[in-house]
Structure 1
Amino acid sequence: MANVAFIGLGVMGYPMAGHLLRAGHELTVYNRTASKAAEWVVQHGGRACETPAQAAVDQDFVMVCVGNDHDLREVISGEHGVLKGIRSGAVIVDHTTASADVARELADLASRQGVGFLDAPVSGGQAGAEHGQLTVMVGGDAAVYDLARPVISSYARMVRLMGAAGSGQLTKMVNQICIAGLVQGLAEALNFARSAGLDGEAAMEVISKGAAQSWQLEHRHKTMLAGEFDFGFAVDWMRKDLGIVLDEARRNGAQLPVTALVDQFYADIQAMGGGRWDTSSLIARLKRDA
């Protein structure tokens, strides 16, 4: 069992930290809103600290799950960041969905202090975090990965090293490209079924047993038909992620015409007031024209 700090107790980090404690690790937590960290300690145990640097002192692993590149730099390399308190030989595991560039930057800074760094974004949403069933895509040194994998496995059903620093973030970009296209396709299919006078649920039940099957179809078609969009990853966060994807594509030359189009469709959802709706809300654009 290890001494572990968890930085960032949002909808993902809060349950992930709980799984670590239940697995027998000693937990220290930090959250920008201190009351959230205090709430976590009351519910689970462990202790809370006032800064990421304090939380990192004497830890074997520091897990991080915050919002974006700016937040990540602040909690790791900022004035009161993790690197101000962490010891040589410890490991930082970053679960934030961020750019590959910031992953490489922070891996280099950590290396200069003798600290391991893994970029390890996750997929599976809030439900995956709550049930300890996340998929974790990892970039970094193989020896560091071998140290961290048993700890990460406390809340994961799949963990895989994808390559050097930044590779975890690049793999998460692949994931988001797939999701964007799948959800738009599902939205169009459901809208078409409705327009054609079909029973949408019956149509999905039939095609889900064939080549059209997907996680999105299985878990989202009923709520999409009902116009309920409170079940997962918010549109605002998806647009942040797709912005990272499109920036990377401009650098590496990959053509992403469908992804760019779906990103604009999500902008339409934001303009409709749906920034906090989940990503399946793409169907709302089509329903308004029905």
Structure 2
Amino acid sequence: MTPITEVEGRRLSLSNLDKVLHPATGTTKGEVLHYYAATAAGAILPHLRDRPVSFLRYPDGAGGQVFVTKNPPPGTPDWVCTTPVPRSEDPGARQVMVQDLASLMWAANLVVEFHTPQWRADAPEIADRMVFDLDPGSPATVVECCAVACWLRERLAADGLFAYGKTSGSKGLHLLVPLEPAPAAEVSAYARRLAVEAEDALPDLALHRMKRALRPGKVFVDFSQNSASKTTAAPYTLRARAEPTVSAPVTWDEIEGCRAPEALVFRADDMAGRLERYGDLLGPLLDPDRARPLPPGPG
């Protein structure tokens, strides 16, 4: 029998609660749902609210099929908010918005990673933040990502911009920068310029080109997720990994002091303590007073 529960007045059918989703730790779907309901909801919802959400689904667990869903899945309840989104191949496209605890738990029951663009639904393709996805090529690890992050932090500060970090929940690190709203194309161009500068300044460490042959031992400074059509793993989302790793906000002390890859691996069980200790380290992304204008382009 499928359990029925009520969340904020909405009836939800929660299925397969004993299914193991993260095999390395035996973490079940019920434990995943508990993480989102009891630990993450208050922190993740402000970062999802008013943004179209893409789902990376892994319904059979991290070792099973993984696929991306942008359109509202079949059977989406009529009380789950959706919003029109610009998509050239489908002018009538809509995506889900996770606006409250009920819709968060409905989505989590589908077994998903939560991914969002850098813009809000009421201003499509106008970014209010910038992201750098620092992706290490083996044998480089998150330790090398942290070194590149520190350089980028100082470079961004020279342009009057604040940077905040989170783990990707996989191998790398994300830097996020609150912005006064600006066209995504302009944000992408600025981010690309800084990625090129990073490679010039750190030629043995940083790379702005995606070419696989160049990647071993270096950190790819991926600026492409600033494109209006791209998305990034949301803060506090679980990732489709063997362990229930989280895309977890981190302090600059943790980034600067990182000497081993495991130092910046955080799992679902770690997050309650971190939230109690630090609160939402990415709260400044939601504070309009922290947003700064994008520097003008060259010329």
TM-score by length of 2: 0.27
| Structure number with higher helix proportion | 1
Pair member with larger Rg: 1
TM-score by length of 1: 0.28
| Structure number with higher strand proportion | 2
